[in-house]
Amino acid sequence: MNKDRVINSDYVKSYCASYTNNILDTTFKESPYLTGSDLRKLCSPEQINYNLLKAIFLQWETEVNKMQNPYFDHSAPAVQNALKTYMQVLSRNIKLDKGNLRPLLQQAVEETIYQIFCPAYFFENSLWPAELGSVKLIELAKLNRFIKINGGFLSELIAQLRKKHQEEMELSQFRYNLKNLCKEWQGNWESEEPYIFAFSKVVALHQKSLWKDELESVYKEENPKNINQRFTKDTRSLNDSLQTSQTTLADRLNENVDKLNNIRKSLNINQKFRFINELYGGDSTEFNVVLDQIDQCENYRQAMDILNGKSSLRSQWDMENEAVKEFLSLVSRRFSEPGPAFDEHPFSAK
């Protein structure tokens, strides 16, 4: 593992959205709700399921803390036993619909990616909620049962803290101990390869796209802050390009400089995820179907008929959105014809 690599958070978020949509669309075909037993076998890698359950557990802990009342002895054994029983009963009666599960699952997928590819960052920033301030060793040990990937690291950290008799500490002190152990742990993190394969069985996970340094070595742009700029040859809007161009539209079309033989093959990873998320609500299936149909069209008008009639979200597109403009320009270039990319409204009456 190259410690100098910096993860590409934009790609990770796009990937997690697509992965989540794929899982939800498949899972909720048979039932409108999922139970606790469903969650335990929902995803691969399995760590995603444990991170999902961890999120539910932490929310439950927050709710329990809200129940504290100065007029009652919450530390009494009878109260603690009753609370434990209550939690066990609730854990066997988890019931989540698609809308409630989506943000939890997407966060669980993202945490798992960091847990695999940036474990030091994960343990420092994602394991313990920063809003809790101090870290209690007994609570940290409870979380340990949810950590399956690189779980040996957390077990070792807990063991070291117990030897120092540090049962509770400020978050800054906890991170200091964690960083010291990370330095010793280099080279002991689990291999990434099995998990790349597991992720890719659902949605292809591209290793090169995960890292900013590798992307920047291929796509060198003047402004490295904007990930989209690294994936486009011209960062100006299409209208700006047309206004400043010194060649006519006919010249460009005759030269076939911009002609695309296949839209799908022309897309880079960033464009694909951007179009899926911004134009098709994260539905990769619909996007791919429409794309294949457009690539099989014989002319531009047929392609526009596809967008008008078989693209269920097209009526919601904002024509000032850069993703819309970029996608429609690709359609125009596919057939080397003036179209929406050249100021013709894409959904005008036939």
For the segment 101-108, the average pLDDT, to the nearest whole number, is: 93
Listing DSSP states for 245-260 in one string gives -SS-HHHHHHHTSS--
CA distance 15 to 80: 42
Cβ-Cβ contacts under 8 Å for 205 (sequence gap 6 or more): 15, 196, 199
Answer yes or no: is pLDDT of 28 > 60: yes
Query: Which pLDDT band holds residue 4 (cuts at 50, 70, 90)?
Result: low
Q: What is the CA radius of gyration of the chain?
A: 25
Whether 325 and 238 have beta carbons less than 8 Å apart is answered as yes
User: What share of the chain in percent tops pLDDT 90?
Assistant: 22
Query: What is the CA 143 to chain-centroid distance, rounded?
Result: 23
Average pLDDT, the chain: 77
Higher pLDDT, 19 or 238: 19
Residue 130: what pLDDT? 74
**Stated pTM of the model:** 0.58
CA distance 348 to 304: 10
301-326 pLDDT tens trace: 888 888 876 545 555 677 777 888 88
Domain boundaries, the chain: 9-200, 233-342
Query: Which pLDDT band holds residue 110 (cuts at 50, 70, 90)?
Result: very high
Write the CA distances from 149 to 19, 45, 162, 298, integer angstroms. Answer: 19, 9, 22, 50
Query: Which pLDDT band holds residue 343 (cuts at 50, 70, 90)?
Result: very low
Write the CA distances from 98 to 105, 276, 293, integer angstroms. Answer: 10, 19, 29
